[in-house]
Amino acid sequence: MSSRPDLPSSCVSDDETLRQKTPESKPRHSSLVKLLFDRTRVDQAVENHNYPGSGSFEDPFVVSWIPDDTGNPLNWPKWLKWTITMVSAATCFAVAFSSSAYTGTIVPLMIHFKASHTLITAGVSLYVLGFAVGPLLWAPLCEIYGRQIIFIISYGCYVVFSAACTADNGVATLLVLRFFCGTFGSSPLTNAGGVISDIFNADERAIAMAFFSLAPALGPSLGPFIGGYLSDGQGWRWVMGLMAIVAGFFWVLDMCCAPETYAPFILQNRADFLSKKTGKVYISIYEHQGKADPPLIVLKKALIRPWQLLCFEPIVLLLSIYVAILFGTLYMLFGAYPVVFQLERGWSAGKGGLAFLGVAVGMISAIPTIGLINIWYMKVTKRFGNEPVPPEYRLPGCMLGGICVPVGMFWFAWTSYRSVHWMSPVAAGAPFGLGMSLVFHSIFSYLIDSYTIYAASVLASNAVLRSLFGAAFPLFTKQMYDNLGTQWASCVPAFLSLACLPMPFIFFKYGPAIRQRCKYSARAAQALAMAKKG
């Protein structure tokens, strides 16, 4: 019986540690076609590797990444990593774009179906409500069946439901289809961040995460003017058709360019393949360390844990509320901008949609800003040496963004008078877009670093809450503007964001003490410490 080398003893050790078992050396590369279709990634080197264990039920071979492993996503060439990143971001962009492009069809749909503004606007709210339902389903299914096949099936259904929206089957059918579009389309929003963490090490993924964070925020900013112009010129069916065409194009592109990246799924398939071929017993290192739960347990945890985190972890609750308010504000603007630029200034739907370009410019400018913040963060990392950097050092971006958001919203509110040149309220969207992107990127990074082994559940709880806000805000926007007036109605989200402004400063100072007193964050810190020792 061969001796077993030392392995990390903790059953809850950090995924980041497990994923980086491959020594740093120049890896061999497999073709993209092989990576797309071969889920085991077994070659001669993998078969002949001397795995720890004896191959019996009592002492199985433990399968992990081997040196220069061609199947390890961390070893893939940079061109492939960035291709996967951009394609994954594009699928997120398409889903987010469709959430707001629909607003360009609201008036034509009201006329066509003889329905109220609130009823037709529900098409936006139900779509975003699907973003709250989807993560609870797609995240655990990806843990069981891998990211690739779940994306292919769910996004394929999203394309079908998007195409079905072009039919004239009544307003009720349209609203139901929009809900299903949001539910099935949320799969890349849920899992694209996981794909990026699969293929980049922690110190490499800041810019990739910036692109991922930008895509679902930039899409809603570009949707209104594209949807508005197309609706003015060709009618509402062409807008629905464009959504389906864009989604279908990126669906095919992703299938052709994005292999399976989820390490536990790949290693489990590899272990099963080796067991069948050799007659010996192989298990993955994740199963060996108790990280591979049965499917029912995975589903149960996915459905229950996000709510536990929201209820019992003040960091998760407060920062999720902050993100939710900004996300709801973005979707509130889809109702506010038509009031300011179309009703009060007489612009067409297409021209009114161009006002969102101010927000888009701000979001795009967040990428170089995040790059500069990351340069500072890398200096902090070197200062800590081999010690882990406290998660609180992810918060400066939120501090800066938190100042930009209320500045932009108050600017928009008090320059929205018809007597003020249109460039001023349009330009006010830039600091809002910049601030929102910085807050999102900073908070997501902080939560991931704080909760490590619970990161998927934390992000799911965040997605649920922000989607509920995004679904609710458009439903009362028109009534709020009618009752409060344009200026004071626009100040409401500004005051809400101003109330959230102290959060990153408070957590930067008291975050370590708060995390020690919170059940899940304390467990995550212990698991990370044990993994480092292992």
Single out the residue of 66, 51, 72 nearest to residue 281, CA to CA: 51
Q: What is the CATH classification number for the domain harbouring 518?
A: 1.20.1250.20
What does the pLDDT read at residue 292? 63
Domain residues for 112?
Answer: 76-258
Task: Please check whether residue 114 lies inside any domain of the structure.
Answer: yes
Split the chain (534 residues) into runs of 10 and give each run's mean pLDDT. 35 42 52 83 86 88 88 90 92 92 89 90 92 86 87 95 92 95 90 82 76 79 86 90 95 93 90 91 83 74 83 92 94 88 84 88 91 91 85 94 96 92 94 94 88 77 89 89 91 95 95 89 72 51
Q: Kindly state whether residues 280 and 337 are assigned to the same domain.
A: no
Task: Please check whether residue 312 lies inside any domain of the structure.
Answer: yes
Instruction: Give the largest Cα separation in the chain, rounded.
Output: 86
Task: Please check whether residue 40 lies inside any domain of the structure.
Answer: yes
Task: Please check whether residue 5 lies inside any domain of the structure.
Answer: no
Q: Kindly state whether residues 318 and 420 are assigned to the same domain.
A: yes
Q: Kindly state whether residues 85 and 127 are assigned to the same domain.
A: yes
Q: Kindly state whether residues 384 and 269 are assigned to the same domain.
A: no
Final residue of a structural domain among 272, 292, 312: 292
Q: Kindly state whether residues 389 and 375 are assigned to the same domain.
A: yes
CA distances from 213 to 190, 209, 427 (A): 12, 6, 22
What does the pLDDT read at residue 530? 56
Q: Kindly state whether residues 375 and 428 are assigned to the same domain.
A: yes
For residue 372, give every residue at least 6 positions away whose Cβ sits within 8 Å of its Cβ, in sequence order, or none. none
Residue 320 CA to residue 450 CA, distance in Å, equals 14
Q: Kindly state whether residues 268 and 321 are assigned to the same domain.
A: no
Task: Please check whether residue 1 lies inside any domain of the structure.
Answer: no
What does the pLDDT read at residue 1? 39
Q: Kindly state whether residues 367 and 515 are assigned to the same domain.
A: yes
The model's pTM: 0.83
Evaluate the CA torsion angle 208, 210, 211, 215 in order and state its sign.
positive
Q: Kindly state whether residues 395 and 479 are assigned to the same domain.
A: yes
Task: Please check whether residue 145 lies inside any domain of the structure.
Answer: yes
What does the pLDDT read at residue 369? 93
For residue 454, give every residue at least 6 positions away whose Cβ sits within 8 Å of its Cβ, in sequence order, or none. 305, 309, 520, 523, 524
Task: Please check whether residue 52 lies inside any domain of the structure.
Answer: yes
DSSP string, 174-227: HHHHHHHHHHHHHHHHHHHHHHHHHHS-TTT-HHHHHHHHHHHHHHHHHHHHHH
Q: Kindly state whether residues 101 and 190 are assigned to the same domain.
A: yes
What does the pLDDT read at residue 13? 34
Q: Kindly state whether residues 336 and 377 are assigned to the same domain.
A: yes
Residue 302 CA to residue 294 CA, distance in Å, equals 12
Q: Kindly state whether residues 419 and 283 are assigned to the same domain.
A: no
Task: Please check whether residue 18 lies inside any domain of the structure.
Answer: no
Domain count, the chain: 3
Q: Is residue 207 a contact partner of residue 82, using CB atoms and an 8 Å limit?
A: no
* Residue range 409-453, pLDDT digits in tens: 999 999 998 899 999 999 999 999 999 999 998 998 898 888 876
